[in-house]
Structure 1
C-alpha cells in the first residue's frame, strides 16, 4: 500500500478491511492538528472505497468533546438535509471512526475569486440556518448529548462548565489569569434569554466545511456538537473566520436571521465569540503543557498566543474598552544558544533532505518553529516576565518577589474582585501582546489575524 509507514494497531487495520470489504491500497497520515488518515480500500470488483479515518487514542470517559460524539451526530444528520460525511463505521475498541471522503476543498481562504468565496459563505450560512431549525426530539441524540438545556444560562455556560470539569486536574495547578477572568466574565454577562435550543456544531465556520464550486458539500468536525443557543454557532463562525479569513462577515448574520427565523443580535455574537475562545483555550493551554504531545506543539503555541490576544480584543470590544499596546524589549546583542542553533542546523542540513512524506516534512518544520521559540525565550523571556510583574505590582499596590508570586497574588485579588475590569483587562491584553511577540515564530503560522467587523 502507498504511504504504509504507520503505528496504527493491527486490529484496526483488520477492522478497516473487513468494513470496506477489500484490501487497504492507500494509507497516509493527514496533515492536521488531530490524528487522521486518508484510506483507500480496493475491492475485488475493481471499485475503491475512498475513506477518511479519525482516531482518538486517549478518549476521555464522559468528556463533552469526543470523536464518538462526532460519529453519532454525523450518523443522525445523514437522514436530514444537512450535508455531512457518511459514517461508515465506529470501532469502540480503538475509538476510531471511518467516514466517507467528501469531494471538494476546505480551503475557502485560499479562493482567489472573492465572488465565489462570498457565494460559498452564503450557502454555508443557509446550511447553518437549516441545522438550527431541526427539531431536537427528531434527531434521537439525547442518549449521546444528554437533555437539552432548560435555561439561557445553561445554554451559554453548560459547555464551558463541562470543559472546566474535564480539565479540573490540570487547572488546579495551572495559574492563568486570562482563563480565570474569561470564565468569570462569561458567568457575569451570560444571556438572559434564548430564542430556542438547537443542535449546534460548536466549532463551525471556514475550514470546518468542504465546498465545491459555490456550494457546501459537507460540514465536518462535529466533536464539539451539543444542544445550545443557535447564537453560539454565530460566535463560532466569527472565531473560525478570524483564523481563516474568508471575505468578512458583512450581512451574513442578517441573512441567517432571514433564513432561520431566529433573531440575531450583535451582542450575542460578541458574547459567544468570547465563549468559544475561552472554552477553546482551555484544552489548548493544557496541550501546550504536554512535552509528549502527539500533535503539533508549534500549532498549539500559535493557537494559544494568538487566541489569548484575540480573547482580550473580543472582551474589550464587548465592553467598549480601547486597548493599549505595550512597548516590546529592545533587541539584544546576545548571540543566543549555541545548542539550539546546532539543533536547528542539524535538522535542516542532515534530516530534511532525507524526508519523504508530507507529514514528516511538516513535523520537521514544526520542530524548527519550536527551536526558534526557545531561542526567543532564551533572549527575551526574563525581560517579558519582569515587565508583567511590574504591571501586576502597580495593579496590586505591592511589590511581589517575582513573576510567579505576582501571578498568584493577582489571582487572589481577582477572586476577591479587588481590581476593576478595565485596568485588569488592560494588563491581560498587554501580557497577551507580549506573549504573541515573544512566540512570534509560532504566531507567524497564522499571520495578521484580526476580527472581522460585526453588523
Structure 2
C-alpha cells in the first residue's frame, strides 16, 4: 500500500513521525480482525523505528474493553518480567497506540510442530503463572481498571455485567435464546470462592502471544485486561486453544498450579470457558448485525456460529449432558440463486487475480464468503427456520407456528423457567449445529473445531 493511500485520521501521521523523529517510510494495513497498521519511521541517521499502530475509531466511554486499557496495562507490565510489546506512544485525540513490533510469529498451530507447540505452551503457561502472582498494588492500575472484585461472584460476573450494560441498547431489541440461557447459567452456577484477585488478560492463549523457537517473545492483546479470578485466564486458554489447536492442554494447568501456587480445578476451567464464550459472543452477535462493519463480517459470522455451537458443548460438558445432533437438509433440495452464484464466480475469477495488497485480497475473499453464505441462506434458510420452529413446538408442547413467533414463546417460557436445563440445551445445541451448517462457508474458516480434554 502506498503511504498516500490510506484513510487514517488527519494529523495521525504527523504524530507518528514526531514519535519516531523522522519520516514515515512504511505504512501497511495489517490483516487482522481489529484495525492495525505496520509502521516504519526512518530517522535522519538511518535508524528505523519499527512500530505496530492500533486504532480505535469509535471508542465507547466507560467500556470495560478498550485500546486505552490495553495501552495502560502494557505500560505497567513493561516494568515487570512479563514480556509485552513496548508502548511507544498513546494519542488521546485519535485513540491510537503505537507499540513496538515484536519478533516472532503468532501462528503457533500453523508454523510449529507438535514438540515445539508443547515447549512454547509450557513457556506461556509459566508466564501466565508469573502474571497472576504479581502484586496488584505494585501495578498501580486501579485508576484504569476500576475497583477490584471483593468476592468470587464479583470476580466471575463483573466483566459479564459490564458487557451487558455496554450492549444494553443492542440487547433490548435482540433477544437470543442461547445468550439469555448462557447469562442465566453463569449466574446460577457462579463459583463460591476465589483463591486471590490478580491481573488477568481476559482473552489469553494461542495467537495472543508471539513466539520464536521454543520461547514466548511477547504476550499481546490486553484490551480485556482486568482484575479477576486467575481461573478466568485458564478458561480463556481453553477457548483460544479451541480456535487455534496447539497440541492440547494435557498437564498444562497442573503445571500452572505448581508454578503459581494457585489451586486449579477442572470445574473452574469449565465455568470460565463458558463465561469467556458468553461474554465474548455478545459483541460478536452485535457485530454480525452491522452491515457497515469496518472489520471482517465473514470472520465474525464464523466466530458467531462456531462459537454458539462450542458454547452449547461446553455447557453440556459442565452439566454431564450428552447432546444429540440434528439432521440437516438435503443439499440437493434447495433452489440455487443464479445471481449469487454469478457474483461469487466473478469475484473469484475476474477480480481476485488483479488485487495486489494482502489486506485487499483478504477482504475480497471475505466478500466471496459472504456471497456464498447468502446463497445457502437463499436455498436452505426457510427449511432451517421450520426445523427450529418444530423443535420449539415439541419442547413447549404447543402447535407448530412460524419461527419468529416460536422464538418469542420460547423466550417467554425461559423467563418463567418453565423448561428444564437438559431439553432446553438439547434444542439450543440443535439450533447451533443447524446454523453452523447453514453458514458453512464462513464456519469453514475455522473447520472442525473441538474442545481439548481437561485434566
Matching of residue 450 in structure 1 with residue 450 in structure 2: yes
1:24 CA drift (Å):
0.6
Aligned twin of 2:437: 437
Q: How many angstroms apart in 2 are the aligned matches of 1:334 and 1:318? A: 37
Is 1:111–1:117's contact at 8 Å kept on the other side of the alignment? no
Aligned twin of 1:159: 159
Aligned twin of 2:179: 179
1:400 CA drift (Å):
5.3
Give runs of aligned pairs for residues 39-188 of structure 1, distance below 5 A: 39-188=39-188
Aligned twin of 1:361: 361
1:434 CA drift (Å):
0.3
Q: How many angstroms apart in 2 are the aligned matches of 1:343 and 1:103? A: 40
Q: How many angstroms apart in 1 are the aligned matches of 2:401 and 2:233? A: 44
Q: How many angstroms apart in 2 are the aligned matches of 1:58 and 1:19? A: 23
Q: How many angstroms apart in 2 are the aligned matches of 1:2 and 1:390? A: 55
Q: How many angstroms apart in 2 are the aligned matches of 1:403 and 1:333? A: 20
SS of the aligned residue for 1:264 comes to coil
1:22 CA drift (Å):
0.7
Q: 1:306 to 1:334 in 2, by over 3 A?
A: closer
Aligned twin of 1:260: 260
Q: How many angstroms apart in 2 are the aligned matches of 1:97 and 1:188? A: 39
Q: Give the RMSD, CA atoms, in angstroms.
A: 1.0
TM-score, scaled to structure 1: 0.99
Is 1:175–1:407's contact at 8 Å kept on the other side of the alignment? no
Aligned twin of 1:242: 242
Aligned twin of 2:35: 35
Aligned twin of 2:197: 197
Is 1:52–1:99's contact at 8 Å kept on the other side of the alignment? yes
Q: How many angstroms apart in 1 are the aligned matches of 2:8 and 2:373? A: 31
Matching of residue 307 in structure 1 with residue 307 in structure 2: yes
Aligned twin of 1:11: 11
Q: 1:356 to 1:222 in 2, by over 3 A?
A: same
Q: How many angstroms apart in 1 are the aligned matches of 2:398 and 2:109? A: 48
Q: 1:333 to 1:272 in 2, by over 3 A?
A: closer
1:352 CA drift (Å):
1.5
SS of the aligned residue for 1:203 comes to coil
Q: How many angstroms apart in 2 are the aligned matches of 1:427 and 1:333? A: 24
Aligned twin of 1:408: 408
Give runs of aligned pairs for residues 275-354 of structure 1, distance below 5 A: 275-354=275-354
Q: How many angstroms apart in 1 are the aligned matches of 2:201 and 2:4? A: 33
1:111 CA drift (Å):
3.1
Q: How many angstroms apart in 1 are the aligned matches of 2:23 and 2:111? A: 36
Q: How many angstroms apart in 2 are the aligned matches of 1:172 and 1:211? A: 42
Post-superposition Cα deviations, 1:219-238, rounded to whole Å, max 9, x if no partner, equal: 00000000000000000000
Q: How many angstroms apart in 1 are the aligned matches of 2:28 and 2:308? A: 33
Q: How many angstroms apart in 2 are the aligned matches of 1:400 and 1:3? A: 59
SS of the aligned residue for 1:285 comes to helix
Is 2:393–2:401's contact at 8 Å kept on the other side of the alignment? no
Q: Which segments of 5 or more consecutive residues in structure 2 lack a partner in the other structure?
A: none
1:3 CA drift (Å):
5.5
Q: How many angstroms apart in 1 are the aligned matches of 2:334 and 2:127? A: 54
Q: How many angstroms apart in 2 are the aligned matches of 1:453 and 1:398? A: 39
Is 1:4–1:26's contact at 8 Å kept on the other side of the alignment? no
Is 2:120–2:211's contact at 8 Å kept on the other side of the alignment? yes
Q: How many angstroms apart in 1 are the aligned matches of 2:16 and 2:22? A: 9
Q: How many angstroms apart in 2 are the aligned matches of 1:210 and 1:4? A: 30
Deviates more, 1:336-345 or 1:423-432: 336-345
Q: How many angstroms apart in 2 are the aligned matches of 1:339 and 1:162? A: 43
1:335 CA drift (Å):
4.6
Give runs of aligned pairs for residues 371-382 of structure 1, distance below 5 A: 371-382=371-382
Q: How many angstroms apart in 2 are the aligned matches of 1:328 and 1:348? A: 28
Is 1:2–1:25's contact at 8 Å kept on the other side of the alignment? no
Q: 1:309 to 1:334 in 2, by over 3 A?
A: closer
Q: How many angstroms apart in 1 are the aligned matches of 2:53 and 2:282? A: 26
Q: How many angstroms apart in 2 are the aligned matches of 1:394 and 1:235? A: 34
Is 2:254–2:264's contact at 8 Å kept on the other side of the alignment? yes
